[in-house]
Amino acid sequence: MKIRIHGWAMALLFAACWTPFAGAQMREKDARGQEWWQHAVFYEVYPRSFADSNGDGIGDLNGITSKLDYLKDLGVDAIWITPFFPSPQVDFGYDVSDYENIDPMYGTLEDFDRLVSEAKKRGIRVILDFVVNHTSDHHAWFLDSKSSKTAAKRDWYIWRDGKGPDQPPNNWISTFGSPAWKYDPATKQYYYHYFYPEQPDLNWRNPAVEKAMFDVTRFWYQRGVAGFRLDAVDTLYEDPNLRDNPPLPGKDKFGRPLQDERYNKKLPEVHQALQRLRKVADEYDAVLIGETWTKDVKQLEAYHGEGNELHLPMDLMLTELPFSAKAFRAHIQSLDAAKSWPTYVISNHDIRRPYSRYGDGVHNDDIAKLMAGFYLTLRGTPIMYYGEEIGMENNDPKRKEDVKDPIGVIGWPEEKGRDGERTPMQWDSGPNAGFTTGKPWLPVPESAKKYNVEAENKDPQSILAFYKQVIRMRKTEPALLEGAYVPLNESDVNVISYLRKSKNGTILVVLNFSTAPQNPVFDLRKQGFASAEVKGLLQNAASAPDGALKSIKLDAYGVYIGRVND
């Protein structure tokens, strides 16, 4: 007899053994020996743009708290909130001037505590963003560091003499379009910044820096935070000899010659620091997610260490692939073949929204459902980005003078910056999409009239309805949580098909990545099914009769998800 654990029973089990609270959390694994973060759906909230509770046009913590019921209903288990700490907002919060407080524009520590406790009531954990590579130039540490060459914290940042008059210490460049060194006339030295000049890099070779930063994580763990998303980990360390990066052919988007950033990125010391940070996280059973830009699966794998570094290094490579069955299949297979637990992402606050990136202008809604049916049914943990579930489009600034993100000003018009993917969450079809009663800090597109939570909640065919069903299925179908990924029909250039196969059930996923109708044929004898029977669970632009599995009929960008029995 097959043992089946029903969804509701599983939910009860999880609820019974999960008690996050301030301080050390009980270590729990579910019935199948997985950790909570392996079966959780994570959701990124960009606080400036999620919900504004006080009408100043900028989202805030109380706004997020007011939307927790929505997130629970969607099926979100953990929210990662991007930085809301005190900050001059040059990089919209990624320039932190105090790691242990809340910027007044977002609320207070009391508001934060209330958010955590209200989230906990709904079974939602809170993950913060930890900007490890740099601080704001307004941080007290940097103000001290800059005050003189002999200041107590001089060595907390990377100060060096120039090579000569008007010559920086080496040829490194900032990824945000300027040189990577800024001259300080008062102390006649340069400091290093991989991002904006207002974001000086911390010197992680100084043990005092590491200690101060680790203590920041303790501060928040003790306030009930369940983990961190680590910002820009690749750039934590620099070559102590500051060797010049070798030039590469070609130009970047700011028109500068490319370089091989071998001396200021992905140094081996990063891994040792992550291992030490992980030890602190383990004291609190917290989870570490990484912003890990990698060029191949091997590099991504390295961020897991021996299971002693990041729990969830994000696979950002998926976001850079062309929209093609072939490319996606090859990538998923290589990730699945690696031993670690994958972390899938299709969208975030630095990347064009997938609705616009993948959309062909005709089938965008179907494509949005296709992508949800795809990455939410893979073996691994998904991290969603707010608004993805309602089909929000990228709303790029139309004129240079409207751009808020400094890289969009520096790089206009090729690089329009990241405002387009950061526009307000679309809650209803009213003014400003219900985000604010004031003037939103970024404009709401016309399409918000149709693509919003209120309208889509009423429409069973909406993108939101589809997301909710896939997410619900992840929680009720054991195969989607624990099942192996078994690719099918691997030479099909248009349709990706796979099983998620476990001892507690098998799910079939069939995805048409083309405009042409498709009719893939299946024979699961090799996969151990003498006479496979299928039962449809969720479809969009696709159909197959329940019963003996022969073929699945798919229209343009159709998706079919069904249960397979023998």
> Which CB atom, from 407 or from 499, has the smaller least distance to ligand GLC?
407
What is the C-alpha to C-alpha distance for residues 162 and 192, in angstroms, rounded to an integer? 11
Helix (H) or strand (E) holding 470: helix 463-476
Residue 42 backbone phi and psi in degrees, to 5:
-95, 155
533's contact among ligand GLC, Ca ion, none, with CB below 5 to 8 A by partner kind, is none
Which of 30, 231, 366, 419 is labelled catalytic? 231
State whether residue 254 is helix, strand or coil.
coil
Question: First and final CA of the chain: distance in angstroms?
Answer: 13
Respond yes or no: is residue 419 known to be catalytic: no
Q: Is 103 in the site for Ca ion (CB under 5 A)?
A: no
**Contacts to ligand GLC from residues 180-209, by CB under 6 A:** 195
Per the structure block, which two tokens stand in for 155?
């060595």
Q: Does 142 contact ligand GLC by CB under 6 A?
A: no
What residues are paired with 201 via a beta bridge? 134
- Chain-centroid distance of CA 564 in Å reads 32
Longest CA–CA separation in the chain, Å = 80
Q: Transcribe 53-90 into DSSP letters.
A: SSSSSS--HHHHHHTHHHHHHHT--EEEEPP-SS---T
385 makes contact with ligand GLC (CB under 6 A): no
| Residue in 102, 119, 131, 297 binding ligand GLC, rule: CB under 6 A | 131
> Which of 179, 214, 211 is closest to 194 using CA atoms?
179
Q: How far is the CB of 48 from Ca ion (least distance, A)?
A: 9
Position closest to ligand GLC via CB: 94
Q: Please tell me the distance from the alpha carbon of residue 102 to that of residue 61, in angstroms, as a whole number.
A: 9
The reply on whether position 366 binds ligand GLC by CB under 6 A is no
Per CB under 6 A, does 435 bind ligand GLC? no
The total number of residues written for the chain in this structure = 566
Map residues 224-243 to x or -, x wherever contact with ligand GLC holds by CB under 6 A: -------xx-----------
What is the DSSP track for 227-247? EEEEETGGGS---TT-PPPPE
In the region spanning residues 468 to 507, those forming contacts with ligand GLC, defined by CB under 6 A, are none
CA distances 134 to 11, 114, 191, 418, 562, Å, are 40, 29, 12, 20, 47
Binding to Ca ion by residue 56, rule CB under 5 A? yes
Rounded Cα gap, residues 313 and 302, in angstroms: 9
As measured in angstroms, the least distance from the Cβ of 58 to Ca ion is 4
283 is catalytic: yes
Least Å distance, CB 467 to ligand GLC, is 23
Nearer to ligand GLC, 82 or 189 (CB): 82
Binding flag, residue 541, ligand GLC (CB under 6 A): no
Q: By CB under 5 A, tell whether 389 contacts Ca ion.
A: no
CA pair distance 458, 463, nearest whole angstrom: 11
We find the least distance from the C-beta atom of residue 56 to Ca ion, in angstroms, to be: 4
Where in 58-97 is the site for Ca ion (CB under 5 A)?
58, 60
Residue 401 Cβ, how far from ligand GLC at the closest point, in Å?
21
Q: Is residue 291 at the binding interface for ligand GLC, with CB under 6 A as the rule?
A: yes
Q: Which of residues 26-55 bind Ca ion (CB under 5 A)?
A: 52, 54
Q: Taking a C-beta distance cutoff of 8 angstroms, is the pair 79, 126 a contact?
A: yes
Work out what residue 275 binds among ligand GLC, Ca ion, none; the CB cut-off runs from 5 to 8 Å by kind.
none
How many chain residues are in contact with ligand GLC, going by CB under 6 A? Answer: 9
Contacted entry of ligand GLC, Ca ion, none for residue 405, CB cut-off 5 to 8 Å set by kind:
none
| Interface positions with ligand GLC (CB under 6 A) | 91, 94, 131, 195, 231-232, 291, 349-350
